[in-house]
Amino acid sequence: MIKTAYFASGCFWGTEYYLGQVDGVVSTTAGYIGGELPNPTYEQVSTGNTGHVEAAKVDYDSEKVSYEDLAKVFFESHDPTQVGGQGPDFGPQYLSKIFYTTNEEQETAQKLIGILESKGMKIATKVEKATTFYPAEAYHQDYFAKNNQSQVCHVYQKLF
């Protein structure tokens, strides 16, 4: 059964890259979520004034990978303690957020945050109800693969 999840962890290139590597992920799409401006462009979102964050839409086979396992990769592929952005990217469009579509997703995200906080981490990641997701421009999709570059804007660290 194909399900969809939404994660924002700074630059969407890295978010899409790491989650796209997970066995059971069918497709990823870089885009924008969380704001109120319909059909935002990269130029609009990059001002930090639209309320959107750069995010990845992840379509996955729930018989091969669980939402919890995807959320763990999300937390492990960026710094969920960083406030105000991610890595070298600062501004509200680069915040760490999980957008849930079901109560179960919300509970899973909160549970994982609780686990990390019990390890002494001060988690900055916000958990919010999903709003409309808008795909980013074509040149942002599968950016690292298209440009023959390795992933550099996120750092993987084992947390769970």
Are 1 and 63 in contact, with CB atoms under 8 Å apart? yes
Active site amino acids: 11
pLDDT in tens, 3-15: 999 999 999 988 9
Closest CA to 18 of 62, 98, 81, 75: 75
Q: What is the pLDDT of residue 66?
A: 98
- Give me the residue spans of the domains in the chain: 2-146
pLDDT in tens, 13-50: 889 999 999 999 999 999 999 999 999 999 999 999 99
Are 80 and 96 in contact, with CB atoms under 8 Å apart? yes
> Which segments of 77-156 does DSSP mark as H helices, in order?
103-118, 143-146
DSSP state, 137? Answer: P
Number of Cβ atoms within 10 Å of the Cβ of 126: 15
pTM: 0.94
Check: CATH 2.120.10.30 for 2-146? no
